[in-house]
Amino acid sequence: MTLLGEFCLWLALLLSAWAAVLGFSGRWQDRPDLTASVRGAVVATFGALAVAALSLWKGLASHDFNIEYVAAYTSRNLPDGYIISALWAGQKGSLLFWAVVLSLFGALAQLLTPRRYGALMPYVAAVTSAVVAFFVCTMVFAANPFERMAFTPADGRGLNPQLQNPGMMIHPPMLYLGYISITIPFAFAIAALLSRSLDTGWIHAIRKWTLVSWLFLSIGITLGMWWAYVELGWGGYWAWDPVENASLLPWLTMTAFLHSVMIQEKRGMLKRWNLGLIVGTFLLSIFGTFITRSGVIASVHSFTQSNVGYFFLAFLVVCGILSFTLLYTRWSSLKAEVQLESVVSREAAFLFNNLLFVGVAFSVLWGTLFPILSELVRGTKITVGPPFFNRVNVPIGLLLLALTGIGPLIAWRKASTANLKRQFTGPVAAGVLTAVGLLAAGVRGLYPVMALSLAGFVAGTIVQEFYRGVRARRRMHGESTPVAFGRLVARNRRRYGGYLVHAGVLIYFVAFSGMAFKREIEATLKPGDSATLTSPFGHTYTFTHVGVSQFEALNRVVSAATVQVAKDGKPQGLMTSEKRQHVDSFRRPTFEPSTEVGIRSNLQEDVYITYAGSVGGTEEAVYRLTINPLVWWVWFGGFVLAFGGLVTMWPGGGAVIPGARRTAVRPSLAEAGALTE
Amino acid sequence: MKAGHKFLFGASIIVVSVVLLITQGVRETGVYFLTPSELADKTSADPSFYDVGLKMGAKVVPGSVRRDPGNRQIDFEVSDGVRTYPVTYRGLVPDTFTDANDIEVIVEGRLGRDGVFRATEVLAKCGSRYEAATEGKQA
């Protein structure tokens, strides 16, 4: 099977190189025969890579440990589900996964894009194929997943225990899908620049693609937080680790882009900025891959160090130079069609939003690269950590949260005092009430109180929008409230889906501020001993150590420590945290020991226990006991955000007719939106 | 003032604040990342460098690890082959901090005048990954 797989890799390399070269030159010379061949090659590339991926899966499933990749990431006693996810668990396999998905997206872009964008498509094919060719090239010359070894081990090393988690089966592919799909909007942007069709056409053509990649990135990042929370065992979900940052960077610029394209659609402004953002997002996605794979920056997620990093660095530099040169040559044809009329307008709110998003992205990039930069410039390595990122990004984040409420309600072009009064009286009152309520309840701390009050304000804007929309439909169409609500969302998907996304964001902010009130102790307990911890919500938890038990499971030896938990004196049952030593099928240890934490979650707070080991082999156990407030809301916020994203991109409904640009000031946005049928 | 100018004014306030936040943040939260010999050079060149927060990356000297799990304390020595420093840490070490012979660590803390490095955080690398240890992390 490896022979077939390897053959398919080479075939895919030839096909994608063919499509890349002919896509550019065929379109350049206006030769329909060549561009037709390019379409075929794009689809065929996907076919070849799909066969390659299937043959690697075959190797994994049949435990062919002569293949180095199979021996490195699976073992005979690995549960079946992880055989599937082993395809993207390691460096080489994930490159193959990347290439096959990108070629699929490339083919889908060719097949699904409406005919009216036909002039762009050969260039789009050329760009996506060039990127596919790069990935296949990297595999063939530096990280071949089909490489065989001189001997065949009796069993493989197995999958890293921290990757043996159901969340880990979907977190990486989600994130990869997000990263990969960014290539399609990037390809359209380059195609628009090359063919000089610089109106809003390319933006309409990629609307779905940008939403798809934004959605996958959002889900991937949230799942990553969940994985860190349940598997890494330090009691939090975001540590500003370089790889976490690398996934956040393209998300930030993509989010900025999703907002700024609205200004280009409606007002014909920001053409250069939008192109710059999409090119930047693509480069950041490659940069993220480079960070993850090169080992230049120490991180939890690092793959083994290898020269694959140099391939990505070179690719990053080449793509950056080519794209920005191209953008520069088209600079003068990208003038804005109108000028900003007032700083009290939606355009201005969006512009500030964009600046802030890019500001966050820049500071995160700067902090992530600072160890390298300081060593280059001053000869000494200086690192910055979570205190830096929080210090810089919490204030910017709060401004962004405020704009989340302001942006959608303020009028286009120029907001009148009447407009401001009508839109903001209720929400501002909601924000003020939240602040007063929090202070009265004894909540202290500038940032948490600000975050929660702003969340109250934003929630006010969202509720007001839904309320007004529903009320308008009830009056106009005599519908009942649930029907009016359903139709309101269904007929204005883009707008109300957007509000749902904003609701998800504000839930995130509420959840994040909860972590400011985290409580934690470490305790060494003999059986029968207890430790107590008071939560920020005023509950007193008592943890009584029951004992430590040892047992063997499928692929591991487990030492499990159990505590009896009582909340305000009432027994809550047992909680267990485990130390695991994974073993292969000959009971030989593989990997270092890992910890499985115990988590009990409710709407207020999570009880999170970590067993850190026993004292001298006795049943006296060392624990870290943590109360994490509002964590459940992170996952719920992620769900709302993803659901809102799905609503905005659901086919039909709020689709924008290409070319039709609405520049008129809508007298009242709520009604106007509710009435468009 | 035209709207465009007003916007540029607002935008420059944002840009300047972000730059200020970043530079101040680096100045006030940035810590040196040194090898043991670099740390030795620093302290001999500038005696006030003791008790300064920093990170040190080095290898654990095999056989030097003394664990006192009951008190959640661990003592070990780190070295880059040139200089060796004793490290003491109170807290829980990550799973990657095993008794194997090739453990690389990043310790964050302060070097006392008695020559002992008091760590507030220990990251250990074994195989291909680092793992964060302990408390003091935010969400």
- Chain B residue with CA closest to A345: the answer is B3
Tell me whether residue B80 is in a domain: yes
Residue A635, chain B, CB below 8 Å: the answer is: no
Q: Would you place residue B131 in the very low, low, confident or very high pLDDT band (cuts 50, 70, 90)?
A: very low
| Residues A592, B95: C-beta atoms closer than 8 Å | yes
- The domains found in chain A, sorted by start residue, are 1-164 (no CATH), 395-516+636-656+665-675 (no CATH), 518-632 (2.60.98)
Residues in B touching A355 (Cβ below 8 Å): 11, 14-15
Same domain, B55 and B102: yes
Same domain, B118 and B60: yes
With CA atoms as reference, report the closest residue to B73 among B55, B88, B56.
B88
Tell me whether residue B37 is in a domain: yes
Sole residue written with tokens 């004196």: A569
Q: Would you place residue A161 in the very low, low, confident or very high pLDDT band (cuts 50, 70, 90)?
A: confident
SS3 B79: strand
Helix (H) or strand (E) holding A523: strand A519-525
Same domain, B105 and B85: yes
Same domain, B19 and B56: no
The DSSP code sequence of A484-508 is: HHHHHHHHTHHHHHHHHHHHHHHHH
Tell me whether residue B79 is in a domain: yes
Same domain, B13 and B81: no
Q: Would you place residue B132 in the very low, low, confident or very high pLDDT band (cuts 50, 70, 90)?
A: very low
Predicted model pTM: 0.91
Mind telling me how many Å the CA of A31 is from chain B's nearest CA? 45
Q: Distance between CA atoms of A657 and A673, rounded to whole angstroms?
A: 16
- Percent of chain A exceeding pLDDT 90 equals 63
pLDDT at A404 over 80: yes
Please, which residues have CB within 8 angstroms of residue A402's CB and are 6 or more apart in sequence?
A454, A457, A458
Q: Is ipTM beyond 0.90?
A: no
Q: With the C-alpha atoms ordered A645, A649, A650, A652, is the resulting torsion angle positive or negative?
A: positive
pLDDT at A500 over 60: yes
pLDDT tens figures, A567-620: 999 999 999 999 998 888 888 887 778 889 999 999 999 999 999 888 888 899
Q: Mean pLDDT of all residues in chain A? A: 89
Residue A27's pLDDT is what?
Answer: 84
Q: Point out the residue among A232, A384, A392 whose CB comes nearest to the CB of B21.
A: A392
- Chain A residue with CA closest to B133: the answer is A234
Same domain, B76 and B21: no
The DSSP code sequence of A74-127 is: --TTS-HHHHHHGGGTSHHHHHHHHHHHHHHHHHHHHHHS-GGGGGGHHHHHHH
Tell me whether residue B138 is in a domain: no
- The CATH code of the domain that includes B65 is 2.40.50.140
Its domain, for residue B59, covers 31-131
Q: Distance between CA atoms of B72 and B79, rounded to whole angstroms?
A: 23
Residue A166's pLDDT is what?
Answer: 80
Structure tokens at B113: 């005048």
pLDDT tens figures, A228-280: 899 887 888 998 988 889 999 999 999 999 999 988 888 888 889 999 999 99
Q: Distance between CA atoms of A239 and A293, rounded to whole angstroms?
A: 19
Compare A577 and B139 and report the one with higher pLDDT.
A577
| Residues B3, A362: C-beta atoms closer than 8 Å | no
CB A217 within 8 A of CB A179: yes
Please, which residues have CB within 8 angstroms of residue A314's CB and are 6 or more apart in sequence?
none
Number of separate domains in chain B? 2
Tell me whether residue B139 is in a domain: no
pLDDT tens figures, A544-556: 999 999 998 888 8
When pLDDT is averaged across residues A151-165 and rounded to a whole number, the result is 84
pLDDT tens figures, A101-134: 999 999 999 999 988 898 899 999 999 999 999 9
Same domain, B4 and B54: no
Q: Distance between CA atoms of B76 and B74, rounded to whole angstroms?
A: 7
When pLDDT is averaged across residues A43-47 and rounded to a whole number, the result is 97
Tell me whether residue B137 is in a domain: no
Same domain, B46 and B2: no
Same domain, B59 and B5: no
Residue A192's pLDDT is what?
Answer: 93
Same domain, B44 and B56: yes
Same domain, B35 and B14: no
Please, which residues have CB within 8 angstroms of residue A535's CB and are 6 or more apart in sequence?
A519, A541, A604, A605, A627, A629
SS3 A158: coil
Q: Distance between CA atoms of A633 and A626, rounded to whole angstroms?
A: 17
Residue A590's pLDDT is what?
Answer: 78
Tell me whether residue B95 is in a domain: yes
Same domain, B37 and B18: no
Q: Point out the residue among A366, A396, A512 whose CB comes nearest to the CB of B139.
A: A512
Residue A163's pLDDT is what?
Answer: 79
**Cα-Cα end-to-end distance for chain B:** 43
Residues in B touching A299 (Cβ below 8 Å): 129-130
Tell me whether residue B89 is in a domain: yes
